[in-house]
């Protein structure tokens, strides 16, 4: 309980500070901060944390679980839409269907999943979250996510630019670099400042979430957002989390995987919604409400999948 309270204090205080700053500072600040984290902060953090992670065991199964979670979320969302048509006799617009599917599929396993994983289980199991995010969520968002966004799009778009984005993602390149540098001996002083920079990037990521949330003001799509969040943050982690022992994943590793599956929708869903002219209001509402719901669901998942 003490560790959970400390985690909440860190999460809430940093996100709240970011929310306040987002209201006060020019709109260009969160954009520049996001660019800094994307190109510099997160990649260097990945290299730093990889030096202390345990890569033994079945860690390579994490991306497979991530893709299972994405496909299960999409399947349940599709069933939910069919149920809505059957019982309400109304058919959602194609752009709304697209945003609904994306919100139920792709989670914020990077900017939010990383700091929560580090706070709960430390750096030893960080690689499980890293593999889940980079080789699972990222590929899923800009793979199946792009395909679905294009399918439900209401306008003209450049699909090639989105596909190219994943190929130049610096986090993926730093992931490979970090694996290569694990055996390289560096000076203690250099490693000390590398760790400080890495943890500072984690704090800045939480500030950025608050800044972005301060710009989200749409609540018109709350019922549909609630349904997508129920799939993404409750059903998927509960169903797949209960099957993890069948894959030989238990203890802290299982806890990390469940936490990643239970993250609220990723900001990538909003990026895809804007790029492919989907329902932006639904995407925005799912992001904002999901961040709030996490404060309630997080202790539940920690209790259900407690270590020891």
pTM of the entire predicted model: 0.86
23-67 pLDDT, tens digit per residue, is 999 988 988 898 898 888 888 988 888 888 878 778 889 999 999
Predicted confidence at residue 186, as pLDDT, reads 87
Tokens 């202790």, located at residue = 299
Q: Is residue 32 part of a domain?
A: no
204-257 pLDDT, tens digit per residue, is 988 988 888 887 776 678 889 999 999 999 999 999 999 999 988 999 999 999
**Spatial separation of the C-alpha atoms in residues 72 and 277, rounded to whole Å:** 24
What is the share, in percent, of the chain residues with pLDDT greater than 90? 37
Burial 138-164 (b: 16+ CB within 10 A, else e): bbbbbebbbebbeebbeeebeeeebee
Q: Is residue 23 part of a domain?
A: no
**Spatial separation of the C-alpha atoms in residues 54 and 127, rounded to whole Å:** 7
Q: Is residue 5 part of a domain?
A: no
Predicted confidence at residue 122, as pLDDT, reads 83
265 φ, ψ (degrees, to nearest 5): -55, 145
**Spatial separation of the C-alpha atoms in residues 153 and 274, rounded to whole Å:** 10
Q: What is the mean pLDDT of the chain?
A: 87
Predicted confidence at residue 182, as pLDDT, reads 84
Q: Is residue 11 part of a domain?
A: no
Q: Is residue 238 part of a domain?
A: yes
Among 37-46, 88-97, 289-298, the minimum mean pLDDT is found in 88-97
Q: Say which CATH number the domain at 90 has.
A: 1.20.1530
Number of compact structural domains in the chain: 1
Residues forming beta bridges with residue 107, ordered by sequence position: 265
Quote the tokens at residue 281. 């209001």
Full domain range(s) for residue 140: 45-202+217-304
**Spatial separation of the C-alpha atoms in residues 136 and 144, rounded to whole Å:** 11
Quick one: pLDDT band at residue 165, thresholds 50, 70, 90? low
Residues forming beta bridges with residue 285, ordered by sequence position: none
- DSSP alpha helix (H) spans, the chain: 2-24, 28-36, 42-50, 61-88, 94-105, 113-121, 126-132, 138-141, 144-151, 159-167, 170-181, 188-213, 222-230, 236-241, 251-261, 267-275, 280-304
Q: Is residue 38 part of a domain?
A: no
Predicted confidence at residue 2, as pLDDT, reads 63
How many alpha carbons fall within 13 Å on the CB side of residue 296? 9
Predicted confidence at residue 280, as pLDDT, reads 83
Q: Is residue 94 part of a domain?
A: yes
Q: Is residue 239 part of a domain?
A: yes
């Amino acid at each position: 309980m003490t560790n959970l309270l400390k985690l909440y204090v860190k999460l809430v205080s940093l996100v709240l500070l970011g929310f306040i700053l987002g209201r006060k500072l020019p709109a260009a600040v969160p954009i520049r901060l996001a660019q800094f984290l994307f190109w510099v902060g997160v990649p260097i953090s990945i290299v730093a944390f990889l030096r202390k992670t345990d890569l033994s065991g079945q860690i390579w199964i994490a991306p497979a679980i991530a893709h299972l979670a994405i496909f299960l979320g999409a399947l349940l969302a599709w069933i939910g839409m069919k149920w809505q048509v059957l019982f309400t006799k109304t058919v959602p617009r194609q752009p709304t269907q697209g945003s609904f599917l994306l919100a139920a599929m792709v989670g914020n396993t990077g900017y939010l999943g990383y700091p929560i994983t580090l706070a709960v289980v430390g750096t030893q199991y960080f690689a499980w979250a890293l593999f889940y995010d980079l080789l699972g969520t990222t590929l899923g968002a800009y793979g199946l996510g792009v395909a679905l966004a294009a399918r439900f799009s209401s306008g003209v778009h450049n699909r090639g630019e989105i596909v190219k984005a994943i190929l130049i993602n610096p986090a993926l390149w730093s992931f490979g670099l970090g694996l290569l540098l694990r055996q390289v001996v560096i000076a203690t002083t250099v490693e000390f400042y590398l760790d400080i920079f890495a943890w500072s990037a984690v704090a800045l990521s939480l500030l950025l979430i608050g800044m972005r949330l301060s710009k989200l003001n749409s609540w018109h799509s709350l019922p549909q957002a609630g349904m997508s969040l129920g799939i993404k943050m409750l059903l998927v982690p509960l169903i797949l989390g209960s099957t993890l022992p069948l894959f030989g994943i238990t203890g802290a590793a299982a806890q990390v995987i469940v936490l990643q599956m239970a993250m609220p929708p990723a900001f990538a869903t909003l990026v895809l919604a804007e790029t492919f002219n989907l329902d932006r209001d639904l995407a925005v509402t799912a992001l904002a409400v999901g961040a709030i719901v996490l404060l309630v669901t997080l202790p539940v998942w920690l209790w259900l999948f407690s270590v020891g």
